[in-house]
Amino acid sequence: MKQYGEEQWKAKPDKINAELFVMTYGALVMQLYQDYEDYSAVNNELDKLGYNIGIRLIEEFLAKNGAVKCRNFMETAHVIALVGFRTFLNTGVSVGNVSNNEYTLVMESNPLNQFVVLPDTAIQQGLLYSNVLAGCIRGALEMVNMHTQVSFIEDELMGHEHTVLSVKLINYIPEQVPLDDD
Amino acid sequence: MSFPLVHSLWILNKAGGLVYSRSFSDQLPNLNSNEQLVLAGTLHGVHAICSRLSPVTSTKCSGIQVLESDSFDLTIFLTRTGTKFVLITTPGHPASQALLNRVYEVYADTVMKNPFHIPEMPIRNEMLDTTLDGFLRTPDFMT
């Protein structure tokens, strides 16, 4: 799976400069803060942004990685970590702490954090700088019929060693409307 | 009639609504958009019924994949997100499944990455039109 992810990344023809990307993202977060002047509102907005990215990104992921199959929620962990993060962000993510209907994704290095230092007030009030990633995973999984809750447990920018995301399954969305609802 | 042709492509959203349709040959009768919507909706319903009729209960049935007749073939590709791609071709078209996979990739690249497109709504996208023409339309001199 790991090798597959790396091959996909290498084969991808359209890549953009990482610095341009992280700078743009930084400017976006900055702008959001200037507009809302409240860190939790910024977190919310980033999550919503990510969600909307996720529900579209999943189509590209499925179109180009048709060979990869997940039969249940737990199998999505390695696919997201090794193929998803590799093809879209070129970063290594490992799966930790797998338990029933919940797993964590450990990012050794978060590319979005490059050049970023948060001011003290932002740390105190809990700005989740990379919250767009959480929204993105949530949106993508929802499109394949899984309601999830994705949250940051640790963040490098808050002084933790790694960035750790927790992904928790709430329920599977039934695929079809029941026939007897007339 | 021996040369494999693609007649037309439909894209159906999750609810069975026709969100995109494009014709690539002049051998099909001209249907107005209302008739096309009705046909697409019927296909969606039949597809759903078929997936429930499956006698095999151990695995989930994914519904109709190919519908063959003596004058045309209809190939359906259902994505994991519920969107359906339907390709109408001449009978025995050798590459309809492969073409549909390619269409899905193009769809992901042009439609889903367009920030002005609202998911599940009708698709108006020039880039999609031209890209599809590039590999689905048969050049005039070959027909």
Q: Which residue has the tokens 């999943």?
A: A58
What is the per-residue pLDDT across A114-173, written as a single tens digit (0 to 9) for each? 888 888 888 888 899 999 999 999 999 999 889 999 999 988 888 888 899 999 999 888
How many domains, chain A?
A: 1
pLDDT tens, chain B, 143 aa long: 568 889 999 999 988 899 999 988 887 777 888 899 999 999 999 998 888 888 887 777 788 899 999 989 999 999 988 899 999 999 988 889 999 999 999 999 999 988 899 888 999 989 999 999 988 887 777 66
Residue B81 and residue A144: Cβ atoms within 8 Å?
yes
pLDDT of residue B137: 85
Do strands B18-23 and B66-68 pair parallel, antiparallel, or not at all (unpaired)? unpaired
pLDDT of residue A179: 52
Tell me if B12 is assigned to some domain. yes
ipTM above 0.85, yes or no: no
Domain range spanning residue A57?
2-172
Tell me if B142 is assigned to some domain. no
Nearest chain B residue to A67, by CA: B101
Tell me if B38 is assigned to some domain. yes
Tell me if A159 is assigned to some domain. yes
Tell me if A36 is assigned to some domain. yes
**Any CB–CB contact under 8 A between B54 and chain A?**
no
Tell me if A177 is assigned to some domain. no
Nearest to A60 among B82, B112, B119 (CB): B112
Q: Which residue has the tokens 């990215």?
A: A53
Of residues A14, A142, A24, the one with CA closest to residue A87: A14
Of residues B138, B133, B112, the one with CA closest to residue B13: B112
Residue A60 and residue B81: Cβ atoms within 8 Å?
no
Tell me if A146 is assigned to some domain. yes
pLDDT of residue A181: 46
Best of B49, B50, B112 to disrupt the A interface by mutation (most A CBs within 10 Å)? B112
Helix, strand, or coil (residue B88) = strand
Tell me if B129 is assigned to some domain. yes
Tell me if A179 is assigned to some domain. no
- Sheet arrangement for strand B84-89: B18-23, B6-12, B84-89, B73-78, B66-68
pLDDT of residue A48: 94
What is the per-residue pLDDT across A21-77, written as a single tens digit (0 to 9) for each? 999 999 999 999 999 999 999 999 999 999 999 999 999 999 988 777 888 888 889
Give the CATH number, domain containing residue B78: 3.30.450.70
Domain range spanning residue B115?
6-137
Tell me if B1 is assigned to some domain. no
pTM over 0.90: no
pLDDT of residue B138: 77
How many domains, chain B?
A: 1
Residue B113 and residue A56: Cβ atoms within 8 Å?
yes
pLDDT of residue A7: 83
Tell me if B56 is assigned to some domain. yes
Give the model's confidence band at A182: pLDDT under 50 very low, under 70 low, under 90 confident, else very high: very low
Give the CATH number, domain containing residue A158: 3.30.1380.20
pLDDT of residue A14: 81
Give the separation between CA A64 and CA B108, rounded to whole angstroms. 9
Angle (CA) A53-A103-A111 rounded to 5° is 50
Nearest chain B residue to A64, by CA: B105
Find the radius of gyration of the CA atoms of chain B.
Answer: 15
Tell me if A182 is assigned to some domain. no
